[in-house]
């Protein structure tokens, strides 16, 4: 087993970043390294036109603790 148990979509990650209680509750007790995200999700998160530098850093900080599926698939 590779340790990856969950694939998070863009809306779930936005919920985490915004402190949405429902998103946090759903993912409580789940280790971030057990979560993955797609290249499309990364693109959607970072392509928001009015994204601030602080928001970009928060997104990257969260994504760095998860598994980027495209990168993982290439390294096999």
Per-residue pLDDT of the chain (76 residues; tens, 9 = 90+): 466 899 999 999 999 999 999 999 999 999 999 999 999 999 999 999 999 999 999 999 999 999 998 755 555 5
75 is written with which tokens? 């390294």
CA nearest to 10, candidates 52, 51, 38, 32: 38
| pLDDT of amino acid 4 | 85
| pLDDT of amino acid 71 | 58
DSSP 8-state code for residue 75: T
Cα–Cα–Cα angle for 49, 74, 12, rounded to 5 degrees: 40
| pLDDT of amino acid 1 | 44
* DSSP, residue by residue, 5-48: -EE--HHHHHHHHHT-HHHHHHHTT--GGGEEE-HHHHHHHHT-
């Amino acid at each position: 087993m590779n340790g990856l148990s969950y694939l998070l979509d863009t809306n779930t990650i936005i919920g985490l970043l915004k402190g949405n209680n429902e998103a946090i509750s759903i993912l409580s007790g789940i280790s971030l390294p057990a979560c993955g995200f797609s290249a499309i999700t990364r693109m959607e998160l970072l392509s928001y036109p009015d994204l601030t530098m602080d928001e970009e850093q928060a997104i990257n900080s969260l994504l760095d603790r998860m598994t980027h599926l495209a990168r993982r698939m290439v390294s096999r």
